[in-house]
Amino acid sequence: MNDGMRLLQTLSICAVLLTLYACQPSPPPPPTRSPSPLDLSQVGTVSGQVRFEGPVPVPTTLQLGGWSACRVQHPDGLPAAADLLVRDGKLQNALVSITHGLGERVFAVPQEPVHSDQRGCVFIPRILAVRVDQPLRFVNSDPIAHNVHGWPQQARPWNLSLGVMGASKTIRVHTPESVIPITCDIHGWMRAYVAVFDHPYFALTDAEGNFSLSEVPPGAYVLEAWHERLGVQRTWLELGPREERELVFTFHSSD
């Protein structure tokens, strides 16, 4: 057997092993929680908008290096990082959440997975939010190898190999975490963020900067708006029974 055939055989075996490893069953679901009673006749809504004032900083352009398999998927030029999306003073991809005030309430864990794709050598979406113990599924849609390296401060770190197109891995994060950076060790420009909550009161702002938190029980709360480049804004709010409240968070170019 010549060297070329040996190399081909080795690559074939590696591909099979990677595929088998990537397609392993998802981890078993966590123990069932007993949710705290929630009186739906008394809950309210907190909604609003996240705005940006001042000159908009130049968006980050991703440098794809010498990876032709990445560049060919962006025929119109180098892709933007989508790390600062502002339109008419409205800020997209700000993460708004309740950070204090829910006490010891317990909420059921959704079992539908949240998906993160590696496509065009970019994480899509860039910002994710999941619940504690909710399945978080990472997929490689590119014809080259990627990995998914999570860098939490509280939870256990992970480093997943997604060596072939179509490979996927599912994890669960067992503790709340404000924002976890995610990188691909193979392609240094690839970055995403995932926040992990033990309650359902969070939302990402849309293209108009809008957010909405529904079925919020009456109480006094601290709410936070987080953005990867602009930092954090916080405010206090008291919500009465069946009340609808609106909030505006404003970031500035100097933040």
Query: Is 98 in the same domain as 219?
Result: yes
**Whether the predicted pLDDT of 232 surpasses 90:** yes
Query: Is 80 in the same domain as 123?
Result: no
Judge contact between 128 and 192, C-beta under 8 A. Answer: yes
Q: What pLDDT is stored for residue 58 in this prediction?
A: 86
Asked which of 198, 215, 243 is the last residue of a domain, the reply is 198
Q: How many domains does the chain have?
A: 2
Q: Is there a domain that residue 233 lies in? A: yes
- Within 13 Å of residue 185, how many CA atoms lie on the same side as its CB? 11
pLDDT, one tens digit per residue, over 6-56 is 434 434 434 444 444 444 444 555 556 789 999 999 999 999 999 999 999
Q: What pLDDT is stored for residue 254 in this prediction?
A: 67
Query: Is 116 in the same domain as 193?
Result: yes
CATH number at residue 47: 2.60.40.1120
Query: Is 149 in the same domain as 82?
Result: no
Nearest to 184 by CA among 159, 166, 156: 159
Q: Average the pLDDT over 71-92 and give the result.
A: 94
Q: Is there a domain that residue 33 lies in? A: no
Parallel, antiparallel, or unpaired for β 44-53 and 244-252? parallel
Q: What pLDDT is stored for residue 22 in this prediction?
A: 43
Mean pLDDT of the chain: 89
Q: What pLDDT is stored for residue 5 in this prediction?
A: 47
**Whether the predicted pLDDT of 3 surpasses 50:** no
Query: Is 124 in the same domain as 79?
Result: no
Beta pairing partners, 247: 48
Q: What pLDDT is stored for residue 13 in this prediction?
A: 38
Nearest to 189 by CA among 70, 86, 56: 70
Decide: helix, strand or coil at residue 2: coil
Q: What pLDDT is stored for residue 11 in this prediction?
A: 43
Decide: helix, strand or coil at residue 160: strand
**Whether the predicted pLDDT of 81 surpasses 50:** yes
Q: What pLDDT is stored for residue 29 in this prediction?
A: 55
Q: Average the pLDDT over 237-250 and give the result.
A: 97
Measured CA to CA, the distance from residue 230 to residue 96 in angstroms comes to: 13
**Whether the predicted pLDDT of 128 surpasses 50:** yes
Q: What pLDDT is stored for residue 65 in this prediction?
A: 81
Beta pairing partners, 100: 222
Q: Which domain holds residue 142?
A: 1-25+109-198
Decide: helix, strand or coil at residue 237: strand
HEC string of 60-128 equals CECCCCCCHHHHCCCCCCCCECCCCEEECCEEECCEEEEEECCCCCCCCCCCCCEEEEEECCEEECCEE
Single pTM value for the model: 0.85
| Backbone angle region of 215, left / alpha / beta, with phi > 0 → left and psi within -120 to 50 → alpha | left
Q: What pLDDT is stored for residue 66 in this prediction?
A: 82
Cβ neighbourhood burial of 40 (10 Å; 0-12, 13-18, 19+): exposed
Q: Is there a domain that residue 30 lies in? A: no
Query: Is 101 in the same domain as 137?
Result: no
- Count of all residues that appear for the chain in the document: 255
CATH number at residue 185: 2.60.40.420
Residue % of the chain over a pLDDT of 70: 86
